[in-house]
């Protein structure tokens, strides 16, 4: 049992090092982080419901997961093919495309969830006599 617990602690350490690597090396991960923080702040300000929070948290997780997987694909491709190769480019481009799809879906989901209450709040704030 002790071995199992120690191996799980080590696994968490590896995952945190991977997370740290992505944040240190991937400019887009910082953009995702900034937008995620803004979404959380906006969600708190708008007092959205639990169901909406669940969808937003899952959406944020999907975008970060796509970014992390893309970063790992890029690292493995660079290791396997240090020289430029058309298939290496395809692998990297498809990984980047997956991040783009996740990010665009995230924007749409954010607008669908946060847009109406934000519009209502802005309207209320601007029509107060």
Sequence spans of domains, the chain: 28-126
74 classed as catalytic: no
**CATH T-level assignment (fold) for domain 28-126:** Helix Hairpins (1.10.287)
Q: Which residue among the candidates 36, 39, 67, 70 is catalytic per the annotation? A: 67
Q: What is the DSSP secondary-structure string of 15-84?
A: HHHHHHHHHHH-HHHHHHHHHHHHHHHHHHHHT--HHHHHHHHHHHHHHHHHHHHHHHHHHHHHHH-SS-
Q: Give per-residue pLDDT as tens, 78-94.
A: 999 989 999 999 999 99
Neighbours of 16 (CB within 10 A): 10
Query: In this predicted model, what pLDDT tens digit does every residue of 15-45 receive, in sequence order?
Result: 999 999 999 999 999 999 999 999 999 999 9
């Amino acid at each position: 049992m002790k071995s199992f617990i120690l191996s799980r602690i080590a696994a968490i350490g590896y995952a945190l090092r991977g997370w740290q690597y992505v944040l240190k090396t991937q400019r887009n991960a910082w953009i995702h982080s900034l937008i995620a923080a803004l979404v959380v702040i906006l969600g708190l300000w708008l007092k959205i419901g639990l169901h909406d929070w669940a969808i937003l948290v899952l959406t944020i997780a999907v975008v970060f997961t796509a970014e992390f997987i893309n970063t790992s694909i890029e690292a493995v491709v660079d290791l396997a093919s240090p020289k430029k190769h058309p298939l290496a480019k395809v692998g990297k481009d498809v990984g980047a495309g997956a991040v783009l799809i996740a990010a665009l879906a995230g924007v749409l989901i954010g607008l669908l969830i946060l847009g109406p209450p934000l519009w209502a709040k802005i309207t209320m704030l601007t029509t107060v006599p």
